[in-house]
Amino acid sequence: MPIVNVMERFVEQKMDEILPTVKCCTCEKCLDDIRAMALNKLPPKYVSTDKGKLFSKLNSLKEKQNGVDIHIAVLSAIEFVAANPRHDHSQQGDEKKSED
Ligand SMILES: [Zn+2]
């Protein structure tokens, strides 16, 4: 049974929701920083489930969570990265994808 940190999914969903509404660089490095920073503020939530059941599990967990803490964590991470981007401007958007 695979173990999944569903918090990662919540953070990604929330980033998709918030990023179009704010001014923030969305290069890979900044997105990674936002994701990492938000996840560091949030407790991991591991579930063991097969992929077919993950979606319904996500939805039921989401209802309990109400999305509020996640929203705050992601929003503050975006604000921080927007103000302190770590990307190299000369290489922006031109990063090699060496990871899977
Ligand atoms: Zn960037």
pLDDT tens track for 31-78: 999 999 999 999 998 888 776 677 677 777 665 665 668 999 999 999
pLDDT above 60 (res 98)? no
pLDDT of residue 92: 47
Q: Where are the domains of the chain?
A: 3-86
Q: What integer is the mean pLDDT of 74-97?
A: 78
Expressed in angstroms and rounded, the spacing between residue 11 Cα and the centre of ligand 1 is 18
Nearest C-alpha neighbor of 73 from the set 13, 23, 3, 29: 13
pLDDT of residue 56: 72
DSSP state, residue 93: T
Expressed in angstroms and rounded, the spacing between residue 63 Cα and the centre of ligand 1 is 32
pTM (2 d.p.): 0.75
Cα–Cα distance measured from residue 77 to residue 32, given in angstroms and rounded to the nearest whole number: 11
Higher pLDDT: 100 or 73? It is: 73
